[in-house]
Amino acid sequence: MFVNGSIAPRTLGLVGAKGGVGTTVAATSLAWALSQRGLRVVLLDLDLRSGQAALHLCERNAGPTVGDAMRVMERLDDTLLDTLLTPCSPSLRLLPAPRDWAAWPDGPDEDASALLKLLRTATELADWVVLDLPAGAMSSAHFGPLLCDLQEVALVTEPTLPATFNARRAWQWLQDHRSAPGANTLLLNKVQRHTGLPSEQVRRTLGLDGEADAWRELPRSDAAVAQATYHGQAVGAVDPKDAWSRAVSRWASELEQRRCSAAPTTTAPTAEDGPAVPTQPAAAAPPRPWHERLLRWAP
Ligand SMILES: Nc1ncnc2c1ncn2[C@@H]1O[C@H](COP(=O)(O)OP(=O)(O)OP(=O)(O)O)[C@@H](O)[C@H]1O
Ligand SMILES: [Mg+2]
């Protein structure tokens, strides 16, 4: 479980509150930024039906996929997984989402224990394992155990009403089901001055006014993100001075500091530990602006 026998590897999953909020761009950029610090990073694209992480990191068609790993799951170990990963940069390797779904007649995400085994095996090979998860994964019984197992989860959203509506429900799920709620981050992407819901209102809607640690913003950066996607590279590789690249780099630095300051014996709770104990719901938010009334949803 330990890399270099000293600092424990860490797992981070990015999950969108809604489709199209920027989860994949954030996951690929963050994985790349961590690897730029000399860390060994494995990115698993678990958006099994429509994952596109490979398009953001490899100019060529990436090799074996999560589907190939699933086919050999019974004998999967670190040695075998090592042969399946596609190098994207000296210390960043990717296992892309399947290009076909032939391996799963009932749908590609039917096996929660296989997903957990894949995650655990990947930790044998990396300092950081980053997961690109499908939007709303917490509503899937198959992804729930995985989300509970991860040490860090970033819920990605954008400053729009539909995304905020979903984010509130998803954030509550994370608070209720993860036994390490302190390691949940709300990532507000595509932040642009004078456009969309103000960040403070999104924060208040999610009950995060006082929780600076759980909150992170990434700017809207159309030109840099579009250029990076066009070249099949991480945003930081194409335009390191862009505001987005700098914000992601700061995030990578803080994550790594947290990994280094964690006690080496700290490990993630496992499925064997039993279900996570739900935490108390967040305290009621102060006065409600108009959009919060719109965002009231049936439990
Ligand atoms: N900060 C940003 N600034 C500008 N454009 C962005 C930003 N983040 C993401 N985008 C754009 O938003 C679109 C969706 O991004 P992405 O594919 O990463 O979202 P996603 O949440 O992974 O979507 P899906 O649910 O389909 O997996 C893309 O066109 C991407 O280039
Ligand atoms: Mg995606």
- Closest-lying ligand 1 atom to the alpha carbon of residue 191: 1
- Asked if 6 and 227 touch (Cβ cutoff 8 Å), the reply is no
Tell me if residue 89 falls in helix, strand or coil. strand
Instruction: State the closest ligand 1 atom to the C-alpha of 189, by its place in the atom list counted from 1.
Output: 1
Rounded to the nearest whole angstrom, what is the distance from the C-alpha of residue 132 to the centroid of ligand 2? 7
CA 23 to ligand 2 centroid distance, Å: 5
The least confident of 43-47, 169-173, 209-213 is: 209-213
**Ligand 1 pocket, mutate which of 25, 46, 160, 221 (most atoms under 8 A from CB):** 25
Q: Which ligand is nearest to the CA of 158?
A: 1
Q: Does domain 10-262 have CATH number 3.40.50.300?
A: yes
**Tens-place pLDDT, residues 36-45:** 999 999 999 9
Q: What is the band of 105 on the pLDDT scale with cuts at 50, 70, 90?
A: low
Pocket of ligand 1 (CB under 6 A): 16, 19-25, 47, 135, 189-190, 218, 220-222, 225, 229, 244
Q: If you average pLDDT over residues 228-245, what whole number do you get?
A: 93
Name the nearest CA neighbour of 23 among 231, 189, 198: 189
Residue 125 CB neighbour total at 10 angstroms: 18
Tell me the pLDDT band of 135, cut-offs 50, 70 and 90: very high
d(CA 138, CA 274): 18
- Containing H/E element for 15? strand 10-16
Rounded mean pLDDT, 120-144: 94
Distance 169 CA to ligand 1 centre (A): 21
Nearest CA to ligand 1 atom 25: 19
Which atom of ligand 1 is nearest to 19's Cα?
25
Which one of the ligands is nearest to 159 CA? 1
**Closest ligand 1 atom, CA of 156?**
21
What pLDDT shows up at residue 109? 58
pTM: 0.87
The pLDDT of residue 58 is above 80: yes
Looking at residue 277, what is its pLDDT?
A: 43
Ligand 1 centre distance from Cα of residue 66 (Å): 22
CA distances (Å), origin 294, targets 166, 200, 271, 290: 12, 16, 37, 7
pLDDT the model gives residue 6: 75
Given this model, what pLDDT does residue 213 score? 77
For residue 18, which atom of ligand 1 is closest to its CA?
25
CB atoms within 10 A of CB 284: 7
CA of 53 to the centre of ligand 2 (A): 7
Q: List the helix and strand counts (H, then E) for the chain.
A: 12, 8
Closest residue CA from atom 9 of ligand 1:
22
Domain boundaries, the chain: 10-262
Q: pLDDT at position 280, please?
A: 43
Distance 157 CA to ligand 2 centre (A): 12
Rounded Cα distance, 66 and 169, in Å: 29
Question: Quick one: pLDDT band at residue 103, thresholds 50, 70, 90?
Answer: low
Long-range contact set of residues 71-77: C-beta below 8 Å, sequence gap at least 24: 71/103, 73/111, 73/114, 73/117, 73/118, 76/117, 76/118, 76/121, 77/121, 77/124
Q: How far is the CA of 52 from the centre of ligand 1 (A)?
A: 11
Counting from 1 in the atom list of ligand 1, the atom nearest the Cα of 132 is 22
